[in-house]
Structure 1
Amino acid sequence: MHDLVIFDCDGVLVDSETISNQVMVDNLAGYGLNLSLQDCMSMFVGGTMSGVRDTARKMGADLPDDWTEQIYAQIYDVLRAGVPVIPGIPELLSHLEEQGIPFCVASNGRREKMQITLGQNGLWDRFQDVIFSAHEVGSAKPAPGLFQTAAQHFGAKSPVVIEDSANGVTAAIRAQMRCLAYAPHDDGARMAGLGAEVIRHMKDVPRLLGH
């Protein structure tokens, strides 16, 4: 029986990945790097913004030193306009609460970004005391430290991670944790190949948890 559910944030709790990546596509085009939305998402989802910056520079983008702060500000402005909750998440959280199973969020993103995205839909109240950000923990996916820190906080012996990126799945597997990979738009083959169990909808989670 699992004693903790660790959620990624973007793309798992809230449907913010497409919005954020479109901002990056538009921004990078202004610095001479033209990417499609699909290319941007396949390269950068699940990573860190400093990683995006370094990769973009290697690909020829002439980014200023303050680019990460610039892109965060642009993304936050767009996210404030509205971010939909991933279908089935409110019901899943209510189910976990009824079962007495604790849950938390562990993300490479900043806490202030999560406050924007989770604060629009009632999710912030459920997660604000159990947020693990790579910016605060000092370990970013695909390293396992973020998930290990979350599990240690709860004293969890059998946590399960819900992710939507290859980096996230890799971090979970390295932490020796079971990983469910949310893949609503494709077959999830890349994440399955890394060791995750692919799910198409959040309503599948209780069955896979054994209740």
Structure 2
Amino acid sequence: MKVEAVLFDCDGVIVDSEAVGVDHIAGELAALGIDKTRHEVIELFVGKTLPGVGAALRAAGSPLPEDWHRGVYDRLYARLAEGTPLIPGVEAVLDALDAAGLRYAVGSNGEMRKMETTLPQHPRIWTRVKEHLFSAQALGAPKPDPAVYLAAAAAFGLAPEACVVVDDSPSGCRAGVAGGFRTLGFAAGLHGAEHLRAVGAEVFTEMADLPGLIGIGS
């Protein structure tokens, strides 16, 4: 089936926010006497939700209050508001999708508020995606549940087979595969190609390669 829409993750795919998030979470945990290596924080945090991270840590015996994530969100968003760069090449990719007449949306595991903090910093991106933002937290179904990508496809009136998912985390790629989408794993950030390939994604490492991978040229 011809590709009619591309459904992007946000953090690590549109905006380069994940490294900031990992360092911030590590600092928040350290302040509570919970020492985690950067690798451990990546495994805990990236592609997941903060409430889920908190629940996992409490289950392992860490002394986190139930509402721990709320203050962390506020402080993290304040940090991201100071400046969150784009993933290199993503603006040119949207230009190519526009030229080819393809639609696109952003489906994040994070809160809508997070996308509304990072994306408006880039007006040429924001004006094109602001009406097509989907939050897995708002849906109550975080990745690897495919609900956020299924909702985005349904909003376009498209079947999963007519869409491509682009995600950079194992949980996000699992969501794409579980939803019946062709899933491209962007392995340029915190996750290795082998982890994305292992969950069924087709792996690429340069955003500039995306148009060619979906058959529209660059």
Give CA-to-partner distance per residue, 1:172-210, whole Å, 9 cap, x none: 110010111111146410110111011111111111101
1:180 to 2:184 alignment? yes
The aligned residue for residue 211 of structure 2 is 206
1:124 to 2:129 alignment? no
SS in 2 for 1:119: helix
Where structure 2 has 5 or more consecutive residues not aligned to the other structure, the ranges are none
C-alpha displacement of 1:52 = 0.6
AA aligned to 2:112 is R
Q: Contact 1:33–1:59 at 8 Å: present in 2 too?
A: no
AA aligned to 1:114 is M
1:39 to 2:43 alignment? no
The TM-score with structure 2 as length reference comes to 0.93
Q: Contact 1:29–1:35 at 8 Å: present in 2 too?
A: yes
The aligned residue for residue 107 of structure 1 is 108
Question: Percent identity between the aligned chains?
Answer: 36
Q: Which deviates the most, 186-195 or 108-117? A: 186-195
Distance change (3 Å), C-alpha of 1:197 and 1:89: same
Within 1, Cα distance between the matches of 2:66 and 2:77? 19
The TM-score with structure 1 as length reference comes to 0.96
AA aligned to 1:155 is G
Within 1, Cα distance between the matches of 2:73 and 2:45? 14
1:171 to 2:172 alignment? no
C-alpha displacement of 1:59 = 3.3
CA RMSD, 1 decimal: 1.2
Give CA-to-partner distance per residue, 1:138-193, whole Å, 9 cap, x none: 32110111111111110123100000001001111100101111111464101101
Within 2, Cα distance between the matches of 1:134 and 1:176? 17
The aligned residue for residue 200 of structure 2 is 195
Aligned length: 211
